[in-house]
Structure 1
């Protein structure tokens, strides 16, 4: 079965389970802990990324956004700033998982392209060796 044989999840009648809010919060908090930054450091980076003159995010607001029982949710347009601040796209992958997608960065794309090109080089080299064997007389039977 080829990849093109699979129907897009967007065309399926049954909706995926997209209740990932708590998993998202867990991923954000885990990335925040491993970022090496304090909450204030994350706030500073978020405000820097939002490119605004006034403080948009403060530590209290960030804590409300990241609390499991809150009614104060992170605005979607601030998500890129948060991801940059915590130095991780893993929370985005949690959001995309029900749709069977995964975010990858440009470096990962380049590494994948490099590996594909390397495999192509090896395939071509083998083809060249096979042609060479066919064209050259067998000199080992002397």
Structure 2
């Protein structure tokens, strides 16, 4: 798809390449290494996020989910718990990339909105200064 093509990705006749399984695993494992937790710590956070009394995820099962050659895949409904446990949404961005979307956290959205409002304030302030110049007699006309 060309960048200049404005037709939404979902209406394209040609399917995007959604074979991102290995990239997803790489992103999860990279985030897991840098989150500051052991595998058991990640498992504990996942179980905490899943709000269950019984252990749903154990370290062995997590290792199977994150192994490239596995036939045991992470259930989709457990993905939010995994992302919270590894403190990253980057693996989700890997999944969304073929659809030309990106996950953005609320803080990022607020920062973006703040920047937009700041630019509007500056634009209106400039307009106000121009109006003041027009309305106030200049010192050279006195």
Q: Distance in 2 between matches of 1:26 and 1:112?
A: 29
Q: Structure 1, residues 91-126: CA drift from partner, whole Å, max 9, x if none? A: 000000000000000100100010011001000000
Deviation at 1:138, TM superposition (A): 1.7
| Residue matched to 2:75 | 75
List aligned pairs for 1:60-99, cutoff 5 A. 60-99=60-99
Instruction: For structure 1, list consecutive stretches of 5 or more residues without a partner in the other structure.
Output: none
| Residue matched to 2:31 | 31
| Residue matched to 1:100 | 100
Q: Distance in 1 between matches of 2:141 and 2:66?
A: 76
| Residue matched to 2:56 | 56
| Residue matched to 1:139 | 139
| Residue matched to 2:123 | 123
Q: Distance in 2 between matches of 1:19 and 1:8?
A: 20
| Residue matched to 2:21 | 21
Deviation at 1:136, TM superposition (A): 1.3
> TM-score by structure 1 length?
0.94
Q: Distance in 2 between matches of 1:80 and 1:99?
A: 19
Deviation at 1:140, TM superposition (A): 3.9
| Residue matched to 1:7 | 7
| Residue matched to 1:110 | 110
